[in-house]
Amino acid sequence: MINRIRDLRKAKGWTLADLAEACTPPTTPQTIGRLETGMRNLSIKWMDRIAGALGVEPEALVRSEATAHPKVVARLIDAGAEALAKQADAVLPTELGGDAPLMALSIEAGMGEYRAGDQLWLRQLDPADSARAINRDVLVPRPGGRFAFGRLIDRQGTLVGVLPPGMGQKQQVVDNPPWLAVAEMLVRKL
């Protein structure tokens, strides 16, 4: 197995010292360097500590040598596409920062700004934090295993108002949902 600590650390723009300090309890940059290069064994305990500091699942720190991993090969700037000096592993959507659970919504019928085949990644929120999601697309669980999806337009007491993305649809009101999930990333096939 190859560890991806260096790739994930660099994707965050962190130095060895930054990652060492973010670990709980903090460690030394030398120890992180040894773990990155394989000079020190990456135990489950170390995987948990480092993954917690980076805000990823511990499994994201390792990958099989037989499995090809997506690469970032270029970047788009004002002057156009520019090659990177060195390719880097792409950080996948499941490795988005944050400590709340991620989930995905598969779009199977085009509606509003969404097209069939899109995938929407959402981050779960406690309903008490719903003010952060006002005027953003959310997924809200409803009784009976159903969901409401659309723009969060209102929050009054335990009631949550969601406006679906389709034309002419009426606001849906959900009373006391156990959680909300706010849209963070749209993945669209070309």
Tokens of 26: 């903090």
CA distance 97 to 94: 9
Minimum mean pLDDT range among 1-10, 45-54, 62-71: 62-71
With beta carbons less than 8 A apart as the criterion, state whether 61 and 3 touch.
yes
Query: What are the backbone angles phi and psi of residue 93, rounded to the nearest 5°?
Result: -55, -30
Q: Which two tokens stand for residue 8?
A: 């994930």
Cα 37 to Cα 5, 30, 52, distances in angstroms: 9, 11, 19
Could you tell me the end-to-end alpha-carbon distance of the chain, in angstroms, rounded to an integer?
32
What is the C-alpha separation between 79 and 73, in angstroms, rounded? Answer: 16
Indicate the domain borders of the chain: 2-89, 102-187
Asked whether the domain spanning 102-187 has the same topology as the one spanning 2-89, the reply is: no
Phi, psi values for residue 169, rounded to 5°: -85, 150
Q: Which DSSP category does 190 fall into?
A: -
> What is the second-level CATH architecture of the domain 2-89?
Orthogonal Bundle (1.10)
Q: What percent of the chain clears pLDDT 90, i.e. is strictly above it?
A: 32
CA-to-CA distance for 100 and 102, rounded, in angstroms?
Answer: 7
Question: How big is the CA angle at 120 (ends 93 and 72), to the nearest 5 degrees?
Answer: 30
Confidence of residue 1 (pLDDT cuts 50, 70, 90): low
The CA dihedral of 169, 125, 59, 68, to the nearest 10 degrees, is 30
**Paired sense of beta strands 80-89 and 71-77, if any:** antiparallel
**C-beta separation of 73 from 84 below 8 A:** yes
- pLDDT tens, 68-94? 666 777 777 777 777 778 777 665 554
- Whether the pLDDT of residue 189 is over 50: the answer is yes
pLDDT (mean) for 153-172: 89
The CATH superfamily assigned to 102-187 is: Umud Fragment, subunit A (2.10.109.10)
- Tokens 């002057």, residue? 79
- What's the pLDDT score for residue 83? 73
pLDDT-based confidence at residue 117 (cuts at 50, 70, 90): confident
